[in-house]
Amino acid sequence: MSASSPLNSAEQMVGEVSPHITVMLEEAVEGLAIKPNGIYVDGTFGRGGHSRKILEKLGSKGRLIALDRDLAAVSSAASIQDARFQIVHRHFAALEEVLAELGISAVDGVLLDLGISSPQIDIGERGFSFRFDGPLDMRMDQSSGQTAAEFVAVATEQKLAEVIKAYGEERFAKQIARAIVASRTGGHAITTTRQLAKVVASAVPKIEPGQDPATRTFQALRIFLNQELEELSLVLPQCLRMLAPQGRLSVISFHSLEDRIVKQFVKGEQDRDDLPSNFPVLAKDLPQPRMMAIGKAQKPSAAEVKKNPRSRSAVLRVAERTKVSL
């Protein structure tokens, strides 16, 4: 994301909502190897691009359960009038709980499209972007939780620095945290996106070409407030437990922190032999892989990136549950 030119008063609050283009649509759904009568989970419905593609491939007895914590996304799901489809307002870390409530003991595939969607970025009132002036919210589920404005108003300088460093990989985290605290103690509460972006810009001594100085700070606060990495770490073991043998997991990540968690999880389930190389044990007695990576990590095509620049950082990983008992 980058700073934009001045906007009129209406755009400052709402912004121009870009048409939502589902990232790696074909590749992610192909990775699921859809069985016509299977049961699938779209853990991140968004605006339904992946869900609609899955439904196209399902037979009359197939079933798709979609989850999303964003009420706007859940509301948009009403446009899908299909008896095989069901939307649930819940974050994906509640996967096992949701499936148990629905009486489902195993599924044939789970798709996760991580990060935020274009509508979330482009609507100023959501507070995810510094391109539009709006309330500093950043909650994916606006029905609960602490807003970014509430967090920056009370967090200690040390906590702010830790969050901005850990989740934004921002090398000027300490300077930014100091500037935020100085602003609020000086009687200037930070309640809007533009206010925060201005404070961050004043604290960053070096601006990287092509990137707004507030980019990493906004990313960090969003990931922290929505517990995105923690929820990802919680849902992956649930996916393994809920997948039927030969069931597929298809995950699209958008930055290294997410992708690292997915990569390490799959690798850990695939390479379960952590014994010393000379340990006296028969090959048949070694722990067998419970999940196997399918192919290598995929990136969007050059054509897709040209059509949708927001897809450029996407990484798709696909894995399959083996027949080994858990």
Can you say which residues are annotated as belonging to the binding site for S-adenosyl-L-methionine?
48-50, 68, 92, 113, 120
Give the chain's length. Answer: 326
1 vs 4: CA distance, rounded Å = 9
Q: Which residues pair with 64 in a beta bridge?
A: 40, 85
Question: Which tokens go with 68?
Answer: 């999303």
β-pairing, 107-113 vs 243-253, is parallel
Report the amino acid identity of residue 66. A
Residue ranges at the known binding site: 48-50, 68, 92, 113, 120
| Structure tokens that stand for 317 in this block | 């990983």
Strands 315-321 and 291-293: antiparallel
The CA–CA distances, whole Å, from 143 to 20, 55, 229 equal 23, 29, 20
Is the Cα dihedral 227, 233, 237, 242 positive or negative?
positive
Q: Are 123 and 14 in contact (CB under 8 A)?
A: yes
DSSP string, 165-195: HHHH--TTHHHHHHHHHHHHHTT----BHHH
Q: How distant, in Å, are the alpha carbons of 24, 78, 139, 292 from that of 227? A: 24, 27, 10, 27
Cα dihedral 12/17/23/26 (nearest 10): 180
